[in-house]
Structure 1
């Protein structure tokens, strides 16, 4: 373990209370102090696009973290899904997509102006942390083993290696239900709800997604690992992104630029569309139904 990551979400206590969270600013400060006493780097997660949030409220939270000397800040857009209170009762209070884009731009410019470097789509780091370590997420060595073990209910584990035969890459999802998760652990069983065997295409997409999270894809490394050029494989997507100023395509790499990092989830969906369609068609055929649309 080389750091702790605190899901603070909002420093603003009024906004934070909208989600039912009971933490206070005092709790966050105390945790940071304990981390420093233990010699641990501490990352703080904040979310933008929160109900009733404004650009000024968001920047006030970031200013507070900067004043506390936090070197690693994760700042990402709220994702509302499922039957949550935000989805059911506060959806009308959420900022629009254009407002969220404005928040992304304002936060990116604010942090970079204060010496932070954007190292992934969501992570900003300021040099000089005496206990900081290299940031591994989004840094993929294409031919290496990329095993990831998820601990806790709803966690995801990923096992795979580009040197293994097709079908030797797997992912597993732990139980979403805490009661079932605890029961399996207490009875000595892996608390896994589902497992998925990946095709070679699935593996390539998973590795491509991890690299895009780190803002760029090295074309030579991709070609060495998969015997194909990532530019040629997804030419239509890259050309459209470059035309809109969201990506920069060079002989060496493809890099997300401008507002590109904000649109990372959309870009990933575009790259995977052919695979999604094939899976939908297979599922529909398996159910004996015709595909419409």
Structure 2
């Protein structure tokens, strides 16, 4: 099987594409931690102890599928930008074509919905809505490419996707009986939304950004405002988590996730203190990992 995008078989080129822009191992680890952390937090909030299940694995793999669909969509939306700023991207070099990315995204999305339908029907509905919104957003951004160059307006219209991932976890976890429906597990979706916003702002917070690059520092927030907001999202996530789970009523292991605050505080000291030109992205990633891993460990040991 060959394609106009290159002489190599499509499967070979897809593998090369994934290696360049979507490391499966990294995303699977992140998805496992995210799905497990949400379930563990919801069970802790209900006063129980969490144990992973086959459903946990399905939810984690589904998140990987969603993240892959979003990556495929981002590549399509960023093609014109990448031709100037990232000429080595696979779509720009011709490794894959726009048509192939669109088809791959549709196939992955359809498979994810089909797998979730028998597990928890409402989760499949939320998933379909999430992926449909992402596709509509992609087409809208392609028709208005300047939207992608304005980080603050774009995050307003794009971030509902992250919220809907939380909605999927809620619908699937409650639909399979992992946790009962209620306000607490629903509010936990905001915890993970805020935590990811910390990472999102951290990777685009830099002093004196180059002209034409997409950063929050280059908006009305400015370099300092962007840094303050980056720290703020991390604090908001932990405050919301504490309000929902009330760890002071739980075993001491329930406080493990809050060790993650070391990293945004260290990032703020480095960036806002003027020692770092950009927010240390590694600290933001470690914040997500430690927060989620702390919830998983705390949920099991509780």
TM-score relative to the length of structure 2: 0.30
- Bigger relative CO (Cα 8 Å, ≥ 6 apart): 2
Specify which structure has the higher proportion of strand: 1
Larger CA Rg, structure 1 vs 2:
1
